[in-house]
Chains A and B, each alone.
Chain A
Amino acid sequence: MTGAYSIADLHYAYGDREALCGLTLDVAPGAFTAIVGPNGAGKSTLMAVLAGVRDDYSGTCRLDGQEVSSWNKRLLARRAAFVPQSLRLEFPFTAEQVVFMGRTPYCDGLFETDEDRAAVKRAMELTDSACFVDRPFRALSGGEKQRIILASALAQEPDALLLDEPTTYLDLEHQLSLYRLLRGVAQEGKTVVAVTHDLNLAAAYADRILVLADGRLVADGTAEAVITRELVKEVFRASVTVAVGECGRPSMSFG
């Protein structure tokens, strides 16, 4: 099994401000892990460290036994793919070109191979985005862009899929299908880690929920164990009622 993260005493600071203050946790393949927490908790920073974007961290963050900062970027990009919150393009790339960019870590010459084309086709079908192949990326709606970005990450054929608030721009139908897709990817034996603000969706689909606050891990476990009235009050300072739904997962209601 590849795509396993092992994190110990992980720190990351922006100048004087510490965003991550000594995280220790393991992320195993085959599970869908959701990271939740209030604004400024360090969620996006953690994703950026896992993805190799911020490799000037201190402490340990290993992917399959090797420090993320010492991975060759090209090999890392075949192992772990990152889906950013959004993407603003200055130039008129088409949707399909953006998806094909996910194949760059496999590309040796100037042209794509049949294998690349097959991976891109699969990724676009999985994300229900094959219909806007030739449209300019900038002309797509927020949700359509999000699906293209996800397709580009899937085209990398990674062992670990890392997503930073992937449902921000999606309508309800596509939010649900994204979460189903992520659960399916995890069931294939891959690592899926997603930052989200939607506790209900996280509770309904994730195998494991990590709660971050002030750069520290404050809760870690299944939805039933983590999503409780007390925790939501303590971490998010919000009063909610938590009920257990038909599928046995907790769900919150407000007011």
Chain B
Amino acid sequence: MSLSRGKFTVAIGGSALFLLAVLVIAPLIGSSDATLLRALAGESPDQEILFDVRLPRVLLAALAGGALALAGVIFQALLRDALATPYTLGVSNGAALGAVVAICFGLRTIGGMPALWICALIGALITMWVVVGVATEGRRMSSFTLLLTGVTINSICMAVILFLHYSAGLTQSFAIVRWLMGGIDSPEPLTLVLLSSVVGLSFVLTMWKANELNLLAVGEEWAVTRGVNLGPLMKFAFLLGSLLTAVVTSMTGPIGFIGLLVPHGMRLVVGADHRVLAPTSFFVGAGFLALCDTAARTVLAPAEIPVGVITATLGGPFFIWLLRSKRASVWM
């Protein structure tokens, strides 16, 4: 929509540069004083700390933050609901239920991968399948039914989680609470590769459909009369947002704030056009979560603060400032 290549490049370039800066700086910050020079010279333990522990963790945080922000953008457009988050449509509680089942049954690994991730992913995929099945009538899909189905599935999963939590022993109970708070660990390189390919592909697919997401964000009738095949687009948006949420949540647990407020923050800065909104939200969400996770592991080191605590306490006041200073340009 009257998007010039110049404006597009500045917005994308600026947000990508922010992410790049975070990716370079965040691994250098930490509780032990490892330095880049010694790490590059191959000295131990600096090399291991920087390249095997911190860098993978920073990368995971960035991928998770970007994916959550992108999923938030997609769900807000799909449901035309400013309060939609990646967790609105049931997928995250499905993942949580899977993880809680793994904890309660003491599963450690499945096929060499952590059982927590596998079970969480399976839980998320099952809820996706149920929600899309209930909300689809023939070729049509109603965003209203989708929303109510998602919220209902969320409640059902939560009820089962509460029951399992109630019947669990003390150690399991602690593990459940810790998982539900969300957090980021250093992943294996293979995990990072798999995650980044899913997230990267989703990013490309979102950009491919960005024009149609604009129409969907306005209205269903509006989209149909401007050439959109509504049923397939809605299903596509639901599956894309859910898949992003599923892969991230199964590895990190639920992390709040990013999926709801990064898209809104970016709308205040770059506007509502999804061609700019989606990529800038992705890059800023990625950089923001990587920053927050750096704070989470350093502020009270050697103890770790749940990263969800940091995202809301750091991001909340900033968002309110942005809202107050930009409100006029959005409404008038």
Q: Which residues of A contact B (CB under 8 A)?
A: 48, 51-53, 73-78, 80-82, 84, 87-94, 96-102, 104-105, 107, 110-112, 117, 120, 135-136, 138-139, 156
Contacts and interface: CB of A to CB of B under 8 A. Distances in A.
B222 A111 contact: no
In this complex, the interface size class of chain B, counting residues with CB under 8 Å from chain A, is 35 or more
A107 B5 CA distance: 15
B219 interface: yes
A53 B221 contact: yes
18 contacts: A48-B221, A73-B229, A74-B227, A76-B227, A81-B225, A90-B76, A91-B77, A91-B272, A92-B330, A93-B214, A96-B1, A97-B271, A99-B1, A100-B1, A104-B226, A104-B228, A111-B4, A117-B2
Interface stretch (B122-130, B204-212, B254-262): B204-212
Nearest to A84: B221
Given A82-B221, A84-B222, 5 more contacts: A104-B214, A104-B215, A105-B226, A111-B8, A136-B329
A156 to B, nearest CB: 7
A92 B227 contact: no
A92 B267 contact: yes
Contacts of B225: 51-53, 77, 80-82
Given A77-B225, A101-B222, A90 B331 contact: no
Given A96-B1, A136-B331, A90 B271 contact: no
- Overall SS of chain B's interface: helix
Nearest to A109: B211
B82 A90 contact: yes
A110 B218 contact: no
Contacts of B211: 104, 107, 110
Contacts of B221: 48, 53, 82, 84
Contacts of B215: 101, 104
Interface string B1-39: 111110010000000000000000000000000000000
Given A97-B1, A112-B2, A104 B227 contact: yes
A175 B41 CA distance: 77
Interface of B: 1-5, 8, 76-77, 80-82, 207, 210-212, 214-215, 217-219, 221-222, 224-229, 267, 271-273, 275, 329-332
Contacts, number: 111
A97 B273 contact: yes
A111 B3 contact: yes
Contacts of A98: 1, 218
Contacts of A48: 221
A139 B331 contact: yes
Contact of B217 (A73, A91, A104, A136): A91
Nearest to A94: B271
5 closest Cβ pairs, A-B complex: A97-B1, A77-B227, A105-B227, A100-B1, A74-B227
A93 B222 CA distance: 14
Q: Residue among B4, B222, B226 with the most chain A CB within 10 A? A: B226
B332 A136 contact: yes
Contacts of B77: 91
B78 to A, nearest CB: 11
A90 B218 CA distance: 7
A81 B212 CA distance: 17
A87 B212 CA distance: 17
Contact of A77 (B76, B210, B226, B332): B226
Contacts of B275: 110
A101 B218 contact: yes
A73 B214 CA distance: 16
A52 B220 CA distance: 12
B2 A100 contact: yes
A139 B3 contact: no
Nearest to B267: A92
> Residue among A77, A100, A101, A156 with the most chain B CB within 10 A?
A101
Contacts of A78: 227
Contacts of B222: 84, 87, 101
Nearest to B326: A92
Contacts of B214: 93, 97, 101, 104
Most buried by B among A73, A90, A100, A135: A90
Nearest to A120: B2
A74 B229 CA distance: 8
Contact of A97 (B4, B228, B272): B272
A110 B273 contact: no
Contact of A102 (B8, B76, B226, B330): B226
Contacts of A84: 219, 221-222
A104 B211 CA distance: 7
A82 B215 CA distance: 14
B195 to A, nearest CB: 26
A205 to B, nearest CB: 24
Nearest to A116: B2
Contact of B224 (A52, A75, A120): A52
